[in-house]
Amino acid sequence: MDTSKRFEKGNGGCPSIQCETNQDVLCQSCASGVVTAAHRVAQRAAEPCLFGKGGTCCRNCNMGPCQIIEGVDQMIGVCGADAATVAARNFARIVAGGSSAHMDHGRGMALAFLATARGETPYEIKDAAKLRATAQRLGIDPADKATTDLAIEVGTLLVNQFGQQEGGLALMKRAPKARQEVWAKLGVAPRGIDREVVELMHRTHMGVDQDAANLLFQAARCALADGWGASMIATELSDVMFGTPVPIRTKVNIGVLKEDEVNVTVHGHEPVVAEALAMAANDPEIVAEAKKVGAKGVNLAGVCCTGNEILMRRGLPIAGSFVQQEVVLATGAVEAMVVDVQCIMQGVSPAAGQFHTRLVTTSEKAKIPGARHIAFDEHRALDSAKEILRQAIAAYPERGKHYIPVHQMDVVAGFSHETITYMLGGRFRGSYKPLNDNIANGRIRGVAAIVGCDNYRVLEEVHIELAKELIANDVLVLVTGCAATGMGRAGLLTPEALSMAGDGLKEVLEAVGCPPVLHMGSCVDNSRILIAATEMVLTGGLGNDISDLPAVGCAPQWMSEKAVAIGQYFVSSGASVIFGPSFPTTGSKVVTDYCFREMENLYGAHWDVAQTSNEFANKMLDHINAKRKALGLDKKKERVLFDMAMRRELQTGLQDVGCHGPGA
């Protein structure tokens, strides 16, 4: 990939990058001197190390690093490790790293939930109905139990899942029975959450597991502990505590910053921080302090997945995705950027340092040189949040030369599993049956998930062009994470986008009032897609397992290790996944063939790779069409015309079951 085209010397040296808004901001004089990831990518003329990119550089001991070439005897590790072993170890370590991020998040959420249930935080249980439904799924009888007592029981059980050493994970029982049988047969069902990461890291240590297939089995088990364990726990408990998302209209893009308010952006992945800031921003005391310095109030906007969390539940706008985090600061209009964990570039510190902006870290796990640290404690969440907001208010009078772009776009978000069920069938007949029926009759071709990061190394906005092509071909698109923010900027997250959809998809979604691309939350919320797929199986008519569904997932611009962990738990659950623009094992044909082909034999799903939006679309549509054919849905159904004999037979059947028509 030629990255030299991304840095243009004209117009102040602003980088030529995917997003028009980013380029607009960076080409303003107030952004002069701000160096972003776009600049750093452009300045790296060389491609990444091919050994590292292909997964065949081993640095797991001090005899290396060893660079391996498959099939060349002289190019194996000092210890004798070949390319397959090294690539499998490196892939497994990526899965472990990504899973650990979600697991730590899930643990934190479970502990905060338990503290809330005990009355130790200012949060509350907002969705008691979901609490009771979750309790039943965990095998806890909610009958005659007070909400507080039930929440303590649920929280205690789920906290214990992280340190559990034997048995199984309670929420894995939500999967289709056929899928549970696959896991049992292969021996990949997790025994606990944290245990699987520790074991995977041990197996990849020098001189332990040296069989590529065996390493990849443990990678699958670790990823499943993420998707059906930690991530699902985090999503379910966040919904119970902060409210299950319902469709809500708001805005995205940097133009959501406000000229006459204290702009505070919250960046990272922890909803407990964002929720506390949202509560404190509306506190009369804080509003009064903001007015004293000449502002109308506090404008809270999200960045990255924290943005998706507060967008889904509170309708607060998203200022930017992962690739926009430094650009948001380059406006000079942000009084404070509050960060917690994951996907936070160290480059935000020097970018904030160019302005009056306070960069505030909140997690003891994630400090940044040059930032102010205000430890966030959920037990005193409002006090912590007010302390942070006062830093921003103090900065407001110092705002100097700045530029707020006009770019912003309406979005509709909030499509939780529960919301989709309700929209398809109402309060009393909520069901995925209308979706399944319309897939069976061909109005909807299938379902595609476009998830994951955005990435400065990808020139084309693959997410957007791919989504357009899929919905034009009557494929319903589900989206999470930074991919969702990008599609929001492009106007794909509103019902108005149905004008770009195929006739069949448009007909169905106009009837229920859905956009053609459904925003389902942050990256941890990919567990919602697992549940949606499971519900499609349980509803019937589309096979007995997730692997039977005309559905496919992709992460076209993946950046984070979490994306690989997510991809692996989808593949292990029976949903094929296509990555782009590269795949981390390509230095070993043995391991790549295993991921791309052998996993299909084991899990009924496989990995694949693509680069352009057109290549992604072709592969995804081919996959969906193949699944339709296997289900016998490729054949056009002939219309049945009832003759008189058939009508008499039908009427006799109705009378036999006591149906005698209106007024009977």
Annotated binding site for [4Fe-4S] cluster: 49, 57-58, 61, 66, 79
CB burial class (10 A; 0-12, 13-18, 19+) of residue 90?
buried
Q: What is the 3-state secondary structure (H, E, C) of 413-442?
A: ECCCHHHHHHHHHCCCCCCCHHHHHHHHCC
Q: Which residues are annotated as a binding site for [Ni-4Fe-4S] cluster?
A: 269, 305, 343, 453, 482, 523
Kindly state the DSSP code that residue 638 receives in the 8-state scheme.
Answer: P
Say if residues 381 and 271 touch (Cβ distance below 8 Å): no
Q: Quickly list DSSP for 23-61.
A: HHHHTSGGGTT---HHHHHHH--SPPPHHHHTT-EE-SS
Beta strands of 452-610 (E only): which ranges?
Answer: 475-479, 517-519, 551-555, 577-579, 607-609
- Contact by Cβ (8 Å): 556, 83: no
State the CB neighbour count (10 A cutoff) for residue 226. 32
Please state, as a whole number, how many other Cβ atoms lie within 10 Å of the Cβ of residue 658. 7
Q: What tokens appear for 654 in the block?
A: 């109705």
Q: Which of 569, 591, 547, 523 is nearest to 219 (CA)?
A: 569
Dihedral of CA atoms 488, 616, 37, 8 in degrees, nearest 10, equals -100
Token couple for 294: 């000449």
Annotated binding-site members:
49, 57-58, 61, 66, 79, 269, 305, 343, 453, 482, 523
- What is the spatial distance between Cα 58 and Cα 61, in angstroms, rounded to a whole number? 8
Which helix H or strand E contains 410, and what residues bound it?
A: strand 409-413
Q: What is the 3-state secondary structure (H, E, C) of 289-355?
A: HHHHCCCCCEEEEEEHHHHHHHHHHHCCCEEECHHHHHHHHHCCCCCEEEECCCCCCCCHHHHHHCC
DSSP tag of 493 = S
Q: Any residues with CB less than 8 A from the CB of 270 and at least 6 apart, and which?
A: 105, 108, 306, 340, 341, 362, 363, 376
Q: For Cα atoms 646, 649, 653, give the angle at the middle one, nearest 5 degrees.
A: 140
Q: What is the largest CA-CA distance in the chain?
A: 87
**Would you call 479 helix, strand, or coil by DSSP?**
strand
Give me the residues paired with residue 173 across strands: none
Q: Which helix (H) or strand (E) holds 91?
A: helix 83-117
Under DSSP, is residue 542 helix (H, G, I), strand (E, B) or coil? coil
CA distance 661 to 664: 6
AA letter at 578: I
Q: Which two tokens stand for residue 229?
A: 């364990």
Ramachandran area for residue 661 (φ above 0: left; ψ -120 to 50: alpha; else beta): left
From CA 531, how far away is CA 443, in angstroms rounded?
23
Q: Tokens representing 95?
A: 């899965």
> Would you state the structure tokens that stand for residue 111, as one six-digit string?
């502990």
437 vs 486: CA distance, rounded Å: 31
3-state secondary structure of 411: strand
In angstroms, rounded to a whole number, what is the distance separating the alpha carbons of residues 330 and 149? 48
Please compute Rg for the chain using Cα positions.
26
- With beta carbons less than 8 A apart as the criterion, state whether 582 and 52 touch: no
